[in-house]
Structure 1
């Protein structure tokens, strides 16, 4: 079936192409009777506007590119939800991509966005990119006047708007909570050790230990990679000394740690208390339900999208960094405060 154009509709009604365009866009310049007739005919003939032509004409795609490092982490799902909500409210669509923690994939995605496909970019850096501290593709986009907002995992080397979680304070707060409920030997299972987020949470953990005069033991830190066997590393940990508390640096790891600990006959929380990050669905429905740190992902998504849209509308303003505090949601995987 031949695609119906503005010219075809104009010929049917004996009017100009400009008149048809105005009618379809609900302009007050066209009489209501003619406007309704043109709109009804366009719908009947399945007319679709040429978005590429409109983008070229308006010098805008009304599209935001979003790059997240890992869609399995519920935090990023929450962020995407918040971004899309604000984007849609402001007439923008989003293209969401996953770097899968790869700097090469991140670069390829940014090159695609740099080809005029989006009006702006929202991104959380891949762990590999943070580890290498190379951000040429990202800096190129900014230099090409495409606004960028970084969130969660950011870099001081990139000058742009940012929304960050106070991960140092979060690491400090949960360690302090475990100490207050009687835990002394507190282990950490960290699958994102190379990322800024993972490093900051460990620094907060160390700060709490120091404040309460608990000696830091590096053997209680498991820096997990995709090649590692969590069961084996947890066996080494649990055989090393009596562990009273474990921090899982993300939700999936916290759930896996819980299952490993239970399978070895430990009672949670009486023997070992467990706390994780990201208040997703998994943590609510395991047994016992997990005490979690909420990073307020939806709110972060809303803030990043708002910052980006404001930047698109008003370029040239000073860059802004927003810091979001976390909340501790106490459930059944930790002992109660005495």
Structure 2
């Protein structure tokens, strides 16, 4: 059994949580008999008061903890901007932590901040956490009464508020748009096939092909597991040389820039011979040459939405659990014909 909670003691004696709390705090409102019985049980079972749970009842810090998986994606900077803007408007401060895609780090951050220093969390999962599918640390926070709102990379199985991108439809619509503008050999390059969102984008790609009557071809799909984006280009050159490809959808910007460079190296003119579209929110797209067509994810709006949901929950403005889907838009620039 894990740590004994006030909830467990209440269950044991079939009394309310507040009765247990009062008994443990030696309140005069509780009879001596009940008090000693509960205190004795708590002591025997090594009960440690969870100051987090106590302080949540008693005070609010007006601070929100944000955990993002990496600093390297502009998307997360955008989300952060949206969260901070909304939090400030509502009188909340934010503490931001980076899990660096590490499960252990994510657990440590949650533990560190769960000592009563924040009122709630906004979290996007670390890659390792998602691969392990171990969300116990988040479940514990929720069980202790700390609201958690997840965004973008969310745990499907956790009962908490979520804000997600419409990844499936984003990819599906993009395939249809490419087909309408005359593309027949549409490739899909994923650097996140391990992630639920990567899988959704891939499924959307397949559905899009089906919708327009193109058959799915395994050779036109490449999953890159290399962490170093500098190596993407070397992977994509043979991919373009060995297959007939007139357009590429990538799950992120770095891969799209690499695809454009690889295209140029094998003698393709962009967008005349090769159209490139990225899921993104980024700076790269505006500064790449040619400027990149993107499936925009509206990071700032996602952040604003997550912060609003969390603060509304903290201020008891809503109690039901919600999943908000942020629609994507195709921003047409110069990398598509």
* TM-score category of the 2 structures, normalised to the smaller one: 0.7 to 0.9
**Superposed displacement of residue 58, structure 1:** 6.3
**Superposed displacement of residue 155, structure 1:** 1.8
Q: Which residue of 2 aligns with 1:21?
A: none
Question: Is there any run of 5+ residues in structure 2 with no aligned partner, and where?
Answer: 1-54
Contact 1:73/1:251 (<8 A) preserved = no
- Distance across 2 between alignment mates of 1:129 and 1:71: 17
TM-score by length of 2: 0.79
- Distance across 2 between alignment mates of 1:218 and 1:204: 15
SS in structure 1 at match of 2:249? strand
Can you list the C-alpha shifts for 1:286-335, whole angstroms capped at 9, x where unaligned? 11100001111111111100100011111871111111111101111001
Q: Which residue of 2 aligns with 1:222?
A: 222
Alignment of 1:35-184 (within 5 A): 59-184=59-184
1:296 maps to 2:281: no
**Superposed displacement of residue 227, structure 1:** 4.8
**Superposed displacement of residue 258, structure 1:** 1.7
SS in structure 2 at match of 1:292? strand
Question: Is there any run of 5+ residues in structure 1 with no aligned partner, and where?
Answer: 1-54
1:210 maps to 2:210: yes
Q: Which residue of 2 aligns with 1:313?
A: 315
Contact 1:127/1:192 (<8 A) preserved = no
TM-score by length of 1: 0.79
1:266 maps to 2:306: no
SS in structure 2 at match of 1:202? helix
1:190/1:150 CA distance change after superposition, 3 Å: same
Contact 1:149/1:162 (<8 A) preserved = yes
Contact 1:73/1:252 (<8 A) preserved = no
Contact 2:67/2:123 (<8 A) preserved = yes
The 4+ residue runs of structure 1 with deviation greater than 6 A are 55-58
Can you list the C-alpha shifts for 1:129-187, whole angstroms capped at 9, x where unaligned? 22221101111111111110011111221111111111100010111111112222211
1:116/1:273 CA distance change after superposition, 3 Å: same
- Distance across 1 between alignment mates of 2:302 and 2:227: 31
RMSD, matched Cα: 1.9
- Distance across 1 between alignment mates of 2:256 and 2:193: 15
SS in structure 2 at match of 1:116? coil
- Distance across 1 between alignment mates of 2:57 and 2:127: 39
Contact 1:222/1:233 (<8 A) preserved = no
**Paired residues, number:** 281
> Which residue, out of 224, 242, 246, partners 1:240?
242
- Distance across 2 between alignment mates of 1:127 and 1:146: 23
Range moving further from structure 2, 201-210 or 89-98: 89-98
> Which residue, out of 252, 255, 259, partners 1:253?
255
Contact 2:220/2:243 (<8 A) preserved = no
